[in-house]
Amino acid sequence: MVTPEQAAAAATSRVGTDVPRIALTGVHGFGAHHLANLERLQAAGKLKLVAIADPNPPAPGRLGDGVEVFHALDELLDSGLGPDVVIIATPIHTHAKLGLLALAAGADVYLEKPTAASLSQFEELRAAASAAGRSVQVGFQSLGSLALPALARIIHDGSLGTIRGYSATGLWLRDRAYFQRSGWAGKRSLHGYDVVDGVTTNALAHAVATALLIAGITSAESIDTVETDLYRANDVESDDTTTVRITPKVGPAVVCALTLCAPEQKEPFVTVHGTAGTAVFYYTTDVVEITTEAGTTRTSYARADLLENLLAHRASGTPLLSSLENSGAFMRVLEAVRTAPDPSPIPTHYVDWVGEGTAAHPVVSGVSEWIQRATTAQATFSEIGAPWARPASATDTIVVSGTEVAREISGERVAPTLSPRPYLHPVTTLSGVVVTDAMPLDHVWHLGVGVALQDVNAVNFWGGRTYRREDAGYVWRPDHGRIERISSQDLSSPESSTPNAEESRVEELLWTGPDGAKMLAETRVWSWQLVDAVAWRLTLSFTLTPADTEPISLGSPGSNGRDQGGYGGFFWRFPPVDGINVRTATAQGEEAVHGSRTPWLAWSANFAGQPATLIFQTPPEANDPWFVRASGYPGVGSSLAWDTAVVLQPGESLTRTIAVTIANGLPTDHQINEWMRAK
C-alpha cells in the first residue's frame, strides 16, 4: 500500500510533466466512451494511458502496447505505476470508495456521475480532496457546453426579463433490457449499500445538474428545500417517472419532470422561464433556442471535453467546468431521493407495454402532457393531479354521506407568480366524477375552486400576467400576492348526524402583498350537505375586510378597461370536457349568459365521458354578473368587480355567498328549480 507521504511526493513530482499518465477503472458501459476518448487524446499526444482496472478486461489486442491490466483499482494503485489522473467509470455504489483510494494515492480524479451514493459520501470525498490537495472533475459532460456561458450572459443582460423559474424536461424510454444490464440497475440499495439508481439520479441526472448550474445553484448549502414525487411503472426499486422541485434560499425554483416511460424518445432540455421570453437548452446537442416577442433564434455551440479541461486545470489552473465542489447541489437532490419513501407503483391500468420480451417498454398514460404541465406550473405530479399520482396533501377534506367529495389544498407551495392561495381540488360528484382542474396548461394559475382577484390595490391575487389600463393588455409584473389560511374550525350542529344536515368549516385567511404587507383579512365559510341521491351542495361565503387603516380597491381586468373581462372573486375551473351546455332560466350558450345577472346558472357537460351538472346560485348579497368561459377554456365565476372597482374603507366589509349544486347526470330546469327551492 502506498503511504500518504509517498503519494504526496509522487503527486508533487508529477505536476507539470509534459504528458499526464492516466488510469481508467471501469471499461464497460460509459467506460467504453472514456476508453475511446483516451485513445483519441493519446493519439494527439495529450496524455498516456498507462493502465486499466476491470474484473472483466477488454479482449486481448484491444488496448495499445504498454497499457497494464488489473482486476481492481487497489491492485493498480499498489503496483507503483503512480498515475497522474484516475478516471472512475464504475457502478454508482463504488464511486466514493474508489475515489477515496485514488485521492489517497495522490492522483487527480475524473469521477463519473453521480458523484456518490449519499451526501455523507460526497462530504468524505470533498474532505479527502482538500486534504490531499487534489482535484476532482465530475462527469456531467453537459457542463462542458459553451452554450452555458452564453446562456448566462443572456440571463444577466435581461433579454428574458425577470426570471420566473427554471425547469428540466426529460422524456426518454427504456426497455426491460435496460434494467437487466447489471445487478445494480434499478436498485435503491444492493447488499446493504446505497445505490440510488433512477431517472433523477442517473439516467437523466444531466438534466438535473444542468438546470441547477443554469439557475446558479451549485452548493448543497444554497438550497432551502428539495421536494420529491417519485413513481415507477417498471418492476424495479428505483424511480422511473418523477418530479423534483428544488427551491434555493435565494432566487426562483428549479422543477425537474423526468420519465423513462415516454411514448417515444425525445431530446431532453432545460428551460429558463422569463417574463419577456424563454430560453431552451437542448443539452445533448448544445443548442440554445431563445423565444421573445421578436421571434425565435436557434444557436449551436461547441463543447469542451471534461478530461481535457481537467488536464488544463492541472497544467495551468484553468477552472474546472464540473468540479466536485459544484456538484454539492446535485448531491443534495440525490440525498432527497435516497431518503424519500420508495417510489409509488403506477397502477397498471395507466401503463401500456409496447414491444415484446426484453425489448418491451412501458408508456405511462398522458405522461408527456403531465410533464409539460408540471414544468409550466412549477409543480409536482401530485399537485397538478396526474391521475396515477398520489393525491395532493390536503389540509382538510369534505365528506358527504360517507363519500369524500372535495379536498382543500393550502396552496402554500404554489409558485409565487401563480399567486399562492388555498383552493379546493379535486371536487367530485357523489359518484366520483371529477369536476375541477388545477394548474391547466392554458392558465396554470387557475386553481380549482376558490377566491381570487387580479387587482387589490394593484396587487395580483389571481396569478399570471396582470391586465392594466395603461398597458391595454396583459404584462408580467412583480405584483403577485399570497393568501394564507391562518386558522380553521369545523362547526357541527345537533342535526349534523341526521341525513341531509349541513356541515360547515370556518376559516380565517390573510391576504399579503409581494412585500409581505397585510392587505385583506378574510373570513371564509365552507358549507356542504346532501341534496338527494344524485346531488350535493357546496356553499362558499367569504367576507373581505381591509387589514390596515388604508382603503382597499377590489378590481379586475374589466375595471381596468378590458371589455367583458370582469373576472374576480369566486371562480370555478373545470377540467377538459365536451358537450358543454351552459344556460340560465332565460338564456343559453356562452355568449348569451356571459355577463348576465340571473338567479342561477347551470353548466352541463361530459366529464371524461360521464355527464354531470353544476348549478351556481347568485349571491344573495349582490346581483353580480356571471363570468363564463366555454370555448377558450371551461370556467365559471361570479364577478365581484365586473367593470368598476369596489372600494372598501377601513373597517368596512364585503360578503359574497355562492351556492353550487353538484349533480350526476343532466337535470331538467324543473329539477333545478326544485333544488333551488329546497335550499
pLDDT in tens, 192-202: 999 999 999 99
Domain that holds residue 92: 4-134
- Summarize the confidence of residues 357-381 as an average pLDDT: 98
Please report, for residues 34, 97, 114, 125, the alpha-carbon distance to residue 88 in angstroms, rounded to integers and kept in the order given.
Answer: 9, 10, 11, 13
Indicate whether 367 and 401 sit together in one domain: no
Contact 188, 342 (CB under 8 A): yes
Report yes or no on 652 lying in a domain.
yes
- pTM for the model stands at 0.93
Confidence band (pLDDT; 50, 70, 90) for 668?
A: confident
Indicate whether 357 and 443 sit together in one domain: no
CATH of the domain at 618: 2.70.98
Classify residue 234 as exposed, middle or buried by CB count within 10 Å of its CB (0-12, 13-18, 19+).
buried
Report yes or no on 313 lying in a domain.
no
CATH of the domain at 61: 3.40.50.720
Indicate whether 46 and 163 sit together in one domain: no
For the chain, report the end-to-end CA distance as a whole number of angstroms: 86
Pick the last residue of a domain from 108, 134, 160.
134
Contact 139, 306 (CB under 8 A): yes
Contact 475, 466 (CB under 8 A): yes
DSSP state of 201: I
Indicate whether 97 and 246 sit together in one domain: no
**pLDDT (tens digit, 9 = 90+) per residue, 173-186?**
999 999 999 999 99
Indicate whether 159 and 130 sit together in one domain: no
**Lowest mean pLDDT across 331-335, 501-505, 539-543:** 501-505
Confidence band (pLDDT; 50, 70, 90) for 220?
A: very high
CATH of the domain at 278: 3.30.360.10
Diameter over CA atoms, the chain: 95
The cell numbers describing 482, all together, are 399570497
Please report, for residues 135, 525, 543, the alpha-carbon distance to residue 653 in angstroms, rounded to integers and kept in the order given.
Answer: 65, 15, 6
**pLDDT (tens digit, 9 = 90+) per residue, 545-554?**
999 999 999 9
Contact 557, 465 (CB under 8 A): no
**pLDDT (tens digit, 9 = 90+) per residue, 204-217?**
999 999 999 999 99
DSSP E strands, 113-259:
136-139, 163-171, 189-190, 193-194, 223-232, 241-248, 254-259
Report yes or no on 496 lying in a domain.
yes
Tell which residue, 18, 84, 94, has the closest CA to residue 54: 94
Indicate whether 242 and 122 sit together in one domain: no
Structural domain count, the chain: 3
Which residues share a beta bridge with 480? Answer: 460
Element (H, E) at 213: helix 205-214
Which residue type, as a one-letter code, is found at position 645?
A: A
Q: What's the CA gap between 546 and 480, in Å, rounded? A: 18
Q: Residue 527's pLDDT is what?
A: 97
- State yes or no: pLDDT of 3 exceeds 80: no
Indicate whether 34 and 104 sit together in one domain: yes
The cell numbers describing 648, all together, are 372598501
